[in-house]
């Protein structure tokens, strides 16, 4: 299955979120290529079918997420929008690095599955909801 076949009209009716993060100000200053590549994910969203006005870039956590002392308001906002079913896809350079810890990562994965939100990175697009649909179908057969 190619990545475009995973994107439905329902996904395209919702926004695309590009989550940009670096763990420290030092990384932001010295790893500018990584930051630039993250911002370019907005172009990828457009190539995948989202209108440019539908693409939200969340970068307010840039340079603070590694401290552990600051609230990541951008990640919290993204997670809330996913949970409300407003997001068709979340894009990051490496999806496993969207979150700072396992609890946040698994919460995001669960919400994406429940709201049929795709997750994408340089390696592909992932549809977590297929797992939930399969488990739901199995559960209904055992009743």
Query: Hey, is 50 helix, strand or coil?
Result: coil
Report the residue count for the chain.
Answer: 143
Q: How many CB atoms lie within 10 A of CB 16?
A: 28
Integer Cα distance of 141 and 106 in angstroms: 27
Q: Which of 23, 65, 67, 96 is catalytic?
A: 23
Element (H, E) at 16: strand 15-19
CB 103 within 8 A of CB 110: no
Element (H, E) at 10: helix 9-13
67 is catalytic: no
- Residue carrying the six token digits 């399969």: 134
Query: Which amino acids are annotated catalytic?
Result: 23
């Amino acid at each position: 299955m190619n990545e475009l076949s995973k994107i439905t009209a329902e996904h395209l009716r919702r926004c695309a979120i590009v989550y940009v993060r670096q763990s420290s100000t030092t990384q932001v200053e010295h790893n500018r290529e990584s930051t630039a590549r993250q911002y370019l994910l907005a172009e990828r969203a457009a190539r995948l079918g989202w209108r440019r006005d539908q693409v939200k870039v969340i970068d307010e956590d840039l340079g603070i997420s590694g401290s552990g002392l600051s609230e990541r308001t951008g990640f919290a906002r993204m997670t809330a929008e996913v949970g409300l079913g407003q997001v068709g896809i979340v894009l990051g350079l490496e999806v496993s690095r969207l979150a700072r810890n396992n609890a946040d990562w698994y919460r995001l994965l669960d919400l994406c599955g429940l709201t049929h939100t795709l997750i994408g990175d340089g390696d592909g697009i992932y549809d977590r909801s297929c797992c939930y649909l399969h488990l739901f179908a199995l559960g209904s057969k055992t009743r």
